[in-house]
Structure 1
Amino acid sequence: MTLAEKLRSGARTVGYWVLSDNPQAVERIAGTGYDYVCFDAQHGLLDYRAILDGLTALDARGCAGLVRVQDNRQFWIGQALDAGAAGVIIPMVNSAEDARAAVAACRYPPVGRRSMGPVRAELRFPTTPAETDAAVLCLPMIETAEGLENVEEIAATPGVDGLYIGPSDLRLGLGGATPDDPAYDDVFAAALERVRAAAASAGVVAGIHTPSGDGAARRFAEGFTWVSVASDLTHLEQAARSHLGTALG
């Protein structure tokens, strides 16, 4: 089963989030059993070469790759898909118009306006445009108050495969003083439920970013079917600190 088939089916799907340029580490992470690895081109320390090397490393382990692109623009989306990404997570989608633009950038004519030039992607996906369209994922993010207000229309946009919640930005957008402001727990919980309901009504999946395995398990228990665990830099620091603490007693 491909990543697109698994995620669209609503089967439990879990990925790992990568911020750093380290294809050898990516290759090791890909062998641990995650459904995908996502390269963060928006906030990560990754240029195009790093994303290309990372996707190539994933191929060695038979793991799918997603890319959170820099922006909702044709160039960034097309570049990530041409490099062989199985789909893109698109930040700051605030309206149905934004969602339609994202879909158009992911799909070939006549459905969209993606340019034919798959380069590495043709090694991984069918080169027939319609088959390729079916094989890649278009995943807008809901991370602003405006996006939440328009979430039903965004979810219902033809060609959208799922909604991905950016919890830190969404809580800030709803008025939180910090990305984990406890004063906004109830408001945030209601926002998550609205996103889940909008996705279910539109027949697409709802996903969310989580900081840990515990956080991912909690989101699965709440009804999400798709989560990412973040991130390589955070977990490297946590592991290093833990070992240092153990060594020093």
Structure 2
Amino acid sequence: MNAQHVRPVGLKTFAQRLRERERLVGYWIGPDGTECAAGPGYDYVGTDGRRGAAHRSSRRAATLTLGARRRSACVVRVPSPDPVAIRTAVDGGARGVIIPMIGSLEEVRAAIRACRRWAAGTRRPGGPAGAESAAVDEQVARILMIDTPGAIAGLEAVCATPGLDAVYVDPAGLSAAFGTRFLGDPATAEILETELARIVGTARRAGIACGVHCPAGDSAAEWLWRGFTFATVSGSTTHPPQAAAAPHAVSLPLAA
């Protein structure tokens, strides 16, 4: 994504573009920084419900701000596979839900159902941010985070689950599953690289998207070149919110 990479309103939705494995670039915000991130035209802006820094009210404010600006889709990482948390995010207007801490295939299926209205899913009709239409089911991207031993071991079956749109990895978090003592630990560097390549390949064969969490724009470009289809720059969790609008954060070269 760059200064010219701004999607006109009325074209494909974020979920459609994700499912078609377009290369997308997003920005990850903390409890502040939505206004800065909403302007440059990122494909999506992620907000975190997994950690305590982002209270539910701030996530709600982020969703409304992004919806009003209509430049970037709002993607919410929920705290867990809890269907209530997932339904709350969708009802609040999220156009993508990242679901972490999966322990079994049944949890994967239940999480996908929680993104859909009855009878295809378990979400009731309605919602305060325009989630009343059945068409919204296909406007919400269902993204599973690969961050547990169970998700890693069952990767092929996970990626083949009907209704799943994408898998998502944070290399730093994923490395913890292999006993990494610190970021860049040489003792686990080889297995981490092997598993990241396996995740990319498995997602590609399953026909779903594959995303990665990045500390900066240059690493996002590298991961896209290595086969990931969407990349999130870890914004105000690692540098000030103003950086969302800075040229080095916005001008991200897409891989050829």
- Please indicate the TM-score interval, normalised by the length of the shorter structure: 0.7 to 0.9
TM-score calculated relative to the size of structure 1: 0.88
Letter in 1 for 2:23: R
Aligned to 2:148: 144
Q: Spell out, residue by residue over 1:48-78, the C-alpha distance to the aligned partner (whole angstroms, 9 max, x if none).
A: 2111111111123212101000111111111
Q: Spell out, residue by residue over 1:183-206, the C-alpha distance to the aligned partner (whole angstroms, 9 max, x if none).
A: 222101110111112211211111
Q: Contact conserved, 1:144 with 1:169, CA < 8 A, in 2?
A: no
**Given the alignment of the two structures, is residue 135 of structure 1 paired with residue 139 of structure 2, yes or no?**
yes
Aligned equivalents of 2:40, 2:241: Cα separation in 1: 19
Aligned to 1:245: none
- Quickly say closer, same or farther: Cα 1:32–1:238, change in 2 above 3 A: closer
Aligned equivalents of 1:107, 1:182: Cα separation in 2: 42
Aligned to 2:68: 60
Aligned to 1:72: 81
- Quickly say closer, same or farther: Cα 1:199–1:83, change in 2 above 3 A: same
The one of 59, 63, 84 aligned to 1:51: 59
Larger radius of gyration: 1
The one of 99, 115, 135 aligned to 1:90: 99
Task: Identify unmatched segments of 5+ residues in structure 2.
Answer: 1-11, 244-256
**Given the alignment of the two structures, is residue 30 of structure 1 paired with residue 38 of structure 2, yes or no?**
yes
* 106-115 or 146-155: bigger deviation: 106-115
The one of 196, 202, 208 aligned to 2:200: 196
Considering only aligned residues, what root-mean-square deviation do their CA atoms show, in Å? 1.7
Q: Spell out, residue by residue over 1:73-101, the C-alpha distance to the aligned partner (whole angstroms, 9 max, x if none).
A: 11111111111000200011233222111
Aligned to 2:163: 159
The one of 108, 114, 124 aligned to 1:99: 108
Task: Identify unmatched segments of 5+ residues in structure 1.
Answer: 240-249
Aligned equivalents of 1:134, 1:60: Cα separation in 2: 20
User: Could you say what secondary structure the match of 2:162 adopts?
Assistant: coil
- Quickly say closer, same or farther: Cα 1:79–1:67, change in 2 above 3 A: same
Aligned equivalents of 1:128, 1:42: Cα separation in 2: 27
- Bigger RCO (CA 8 Å, 6+ sep): 2
- Quickly say closer, same or farther: Cα 1:8–1:179, change in 2 above 3 A: same
